[in-house]
Chains A and B, each alone.
Chain A
Amino acid sequence: MRRILLATAACAGLASAAVAEPTNIGIILGFTGPLESITPGMAASAELALKEASDSGKLPGGITLAPTRSDSTCIDAAAATTAAQQQVNTQKVAAIVGADCSGVTTAIANNVAIPAGVVMISPSATSPALSTIEDDGYFFRTAPSDARQGEILAAIAMEKGIKEVAVTFTNNDYGKGLADSFGAAFEKAGGKVLISAPHEDGKADYSSEVAALQAAGADTLMVFGYVDQGGVGVVQASLDTGAFESFVFADGMYGQSLIDKIGDDINGKVWGTLPGVEGEAADKFAAYAKENGMDPTGTYVPESYDAGALIALSIAASGSADRTGIRDKMMDVANEPGEKIYAGELAKGIELAAAGTDIDYEGATGVEFVGPGEARGSYRVYEIKDDKAETIGYR
């Protein structure tokens, strides 16, 4: 009898522990691979939002959110799919922040998240192809499609009087998508792409790629690659041989590591774009991130915060951590109408959403979902000067 009583007490203890057990939220980013220098900042930012939501204590039913990280590798679709399966089936995640690179994101969305009915919010997958996947409403992204970045790059190039360019892109979905959207927008505006050639990442030497690009006769090279990979090799080889004197970088090429690696030669020769906003949303996030010891200007750091925050708000609005409920409320909390919620104000947002009041999450990037659940997008334009990337405006 005594034993039975003890066992019952133990079971009761376990049961109450189960109630307090946190809800897992998957964070699938490329902690190894081409983006490994920017993903720690992204993950920390998403985790900051989840922690903020949990610490508020206002999530319905006393839910707390626990981030579970796994590695997307950025390039290996099989490894990323396995990681996502583990998150969905073993960790029982309610939703996923991720993935990062467009190729693995497509693989995870199609093979794991959409069939299992789990919401995915990617902070950085920007391939135009992701706009048209059959996602049943489960796929969102807080980063805009590259179709948009390509148009903006083309417009700025035209304003700067650049008429002819050479384009080199990393040979994957991201690079190809960006090169295509840029090429279409640039030629429509009257410019000419003289050569558009892919480069493979992870090679020691890019001098022959640069030689072919140079031969086309353009003065400006558009580099749609990665800052840790072939992109930097192409720029280095171009500067060494004097093939190009000016460069235009897309978002994947933004990073201090490139400036440190190449040194003084790069100053004054580069402008580029990366997703970013100015105004109230950005200022509030910058202050909040600094308060928490993070760098708010890191690539996709604000988008990652927004991805985490949107999941928390959807849970609040739907009243539980149910996977489909999160999907159904996502558009409501992200878009108008409703009270505007900025970074650092999740407690207020959760309270309002849980009470059934309309909210309009602006967050760190002024989130507004359009079309198939992707951010409309705003871009920061920068130049490299005095060994630093200096912001010159927003689009």
Chain B
Amino acid sequence: MDVLNALVLFLNFVMIPATAYGAQLALGALGVTLIYAVLRFSNFAHGDMMAFGTMLVVLVTWGLQSLGVSLGPLPTALLALPIGILGTIVLALVTDASVYRFYRSKRSEPVIFVIASVGVMFVYNALTRFVIGTDDQRFEDGARFVVKVGDFRKWSGLDEGLAIRTSQLITVVVMILTVAFVFWFLQKTRTGKAMRAYSDNEDLALLSGISPERVVRITWILAAALAVIAGTLYGLDKSFRPFTYFQLLLPIFAAAIVGGIGHPLGAVAGGFVVAYSEVMVTYAYKGVLTYLLPEAWRPEGLVQMLGTDYKFAVSFIILVVVLLIRPTGIFRGRTI
């Protein structure tokens, strides 16, 4: 019984939230890594592209809610998602045509692109705040829980409860579907293969008749879609506030680099590595150990490695350690 209680406690406070968070990071990192693989720069505007797309989804969701449209137990935001994606794709393509294409035609250094993306970040940043403001916005509706703490306790007879929120389940399901689609697209379709060829060797790809502008366009479309999906899932699961999306940039880049930047599978793995480390390093294990250890060994203190204030520091530490020891990341991406 004690073992089960410890397991449920660990699931409820570590595994479930970290899995949902990891899925959100994975989707964000996948977008960053695609841009890096094809366009060869780190897109600092990705976090604010997420915020912009999520803002569109929030606005459309409110519109649908006021019209009385709903998906029953599922959040209405899922219905608004395609519109948000379309709007963000338009934004990404316009940005590419007005900013990045100029530097591409001049064959500028990657660092020029990075700095340009910082500028784009500030523009997106302001655009989002201008439209929706800086406050917390709630747009979650439908059933809040799949499994409620009280119901679980009654059903299992355990002391500890387990909660699974609808948004957490949706996050994981949507993440799996999206990642599967992106992998299938990259591996099996002609366009996907063209993208990989372009990423591998730009000159050879051009020689074999691949249109570079088309590859770039498809990449932006994929990245924008991934950004909106990641942002909306994060907003549903936690809350939407433009500033927190800006802060997400750090764990997202940490995830992409840990996995091996430019490597799609690495981005997904990296997302989970960063999320699990952030949550596990800052969790206090007193409760779990009290169930598992014999009475005499039970800890007095909290058994917490780092205070929760240091959550972001964990991303930094992972980033620094990976760059020092294995700059190419777990899956041998490109060296930055």
The distance from the CB of B48 to the nearest CB of chain A, in whole angstroms, is 15
Tell me what chain B mostly uses at the interface: helix, strand, loop, or mixed: helix
State A341–B116 Cα separation when bound (angstroms). Answer: 65
B138 in contact with A208 (CB, 8 Å): no
B285's partner among A209, A215, A241 (CB-CB below 8 A) is A215
Known: A204-B238, A204-B239. A215 touches B302 (CB 8 A): yes
A241 in contact with B308 (CB, 8 Å): no
Contacts of A200 in B (CB 8 A): 309
Closest to A194 in B: B302
Is residue A261 within 8 Å, beta carbon to beta carbon, of the partner chain?
yes
Is residue A384 within 8 Å, beta carbon to beta carbon, of the partner chain?
no
Residue interface bits A191-224, CB-to-B below 8 A is 1, else 0: 0000101111011110111111011110000000
Q: Which of B280-309 contact A (CB under 8 A)?
A: 282-288, 290, 302-304, 307-309
Is residue A190 within 8 Å, beta carbon to beta carbon, of the partner chain?
no
A197 in contact with B14 (CB, 8 Å): no
Is residue A242 within 8 Å, beta carbon to beta carbon, of the partner chain?
yes
Is residue A134 within 8 Å, beta carbon to beta carbon, of the partner chain?
no
State A200–B161 Cα separation when bound (angstroms). Answer: 26
B17's partner among A171, A204, A208, A216 (CB-CB below 8 A) is A208
Q: Which of B7-30 contact A (CB under 8 A)?
A: 12-14, 17, 21
Give the size category of B's interface with A. Answer: 35 or more
B282 in contact with A241 (CB, 8 Å): no
The distance from the CB of A89 to the nearest CB of chain B, in whole angstroms, is 30
Is residue B62 within 8 Å, beta carbon to beta carbon, of the partner chain?
no
State A200–B241 Cα separation when bound (angstroms). Answer: 15
Is residue B311 within 8 Å, beta carbon to beta carbon, of the partner chain?
yes
A240 in contact with B286 (CB, 8 Å): no
B241's partner among A199, A202, A240 (CB-CB below 8 A) is A202
Contacts of B290 in A (CB 8 A): 217
The distance from the CB of A203 to the nearest CB of chain B, in whole angstroms, is 7
Is residue B41 within 8 Å, beta carbon to beta carbon, of the partner chain?
no
Contacts of B282 in A (CB 8 A): 208, 212
The distance from the CB of B289 to the nearest CB of chain A, in whole angstroms, is 9
A208 in contact with B149 (CB, 8 Å): no
Known: A204-B241, A205-B238. A242 touches B149 (CB 8 A): yes
The distance from the CB of A60 to the nearest CB of chain B, in whole angstroms, is 45
Known: A204-B239, A211-B14, A241-B13. A195 touches B302 (CB 8 A): yes
A212 in contact with B283 (CB, 8 Å): yes
Residue interface bits B266-288, CB-to-A below 8 A is 1, else 0: 00000000000011001111111
State A266–B113 Cα separation when bound (angstroms). Answer: 50
B12 in contact with A198 (CB, 8 Å): no
Contacts of B163 in A (CB 8 A): 240-242
Contacts of A242 in B (CB 8 A): 12, 149-150, 153, 161, 163
Contacts of A240 in B (CB 8 A): 144-145, 163, 165
Q: Which of A226-264 contact B (CB under 8 A)?
A: 233, 240-243, 261
Is residue B234 within 8 Å, beta carbon to beta carbon, of the partner chain?
yes
Give the size category of A's interface with B. Answer: 20 to 34
Is residue B244 within 8 Å, beta carbon to beta carbon, of the partner chain?
yes
Closest to B288 in A: A215
The distance from the CB of A30 to the nearest CB of chain B, in whole angstroms, is 14
A197's partner among B150, B153, B307 (CB-CB below 8 A) is B307
Closest to A205 in B: B238
A207 in contact with B13 (CB, 8 Å): yes
Closest to A261 in B: B138
Known: A198-B309, A204-B234, A207-B13. A216 touches B241 (CB 8 A): no
A215 in contact with B284 (CB, 8 Å): yes
Contacts of B331 in A (CB 8 A): none
Residue interface bits B43-76, CB-to-A below 8 A is 1, else 0: 0000000000000000000000000000000000
A217 in contact with B286 (CB, 8 Å): yes
B14 in contact with A215 (CB, 8 Å): no
B149 in contact with A217 (CB, 8 Å): no
State A204–B251 Cα separation when bound (angstroms). Answer: 14
Contacts of B153 in A (CB 8 A): 242
The distance from the CB of B283 to the nearest CB of chain A, in whole angstroms, is 5
A216 in contact with B13 (CB, 8 Å): no
State A233–B138 Cα separation when bound (angstroms). Answer: 12
State A198–B153 Cα separation when bound (angstroms). Answer: 30
A216 in contact with B243 (CB, 8 Å): no
Closest to A229 in B: B136
The distance from the CB of A256 to the nearest CB of chain B, in whole angstroms, is 16
The distance from the CB of B336 to the nearest CB of chain A, in whole angstroms, is 28
The distance from the CB of B15 to the nearest CB of chain A, in whole angstroms, is 11
Contacts of A198 in B (CB 8 A): 309
Contacts of A209 in B (CB 8 A): 308
A208 in contact with B308 (CB, 8 Å): yes
Residue ranges of A at the interface with B (Cβ–Cβ < 8 Å): 171, 195, 197-200, 202-205, 207-212, 214-217, 233, 240-243, 261
Sorted from nearest, which 10 A-B pairs have the closest CB atoms?
Answer: A242-B149, A215-B284, A211-B13, A204-B238, A204-B244, A242-B161, A205-B238, A215-B287, A212-B284, A207-B17
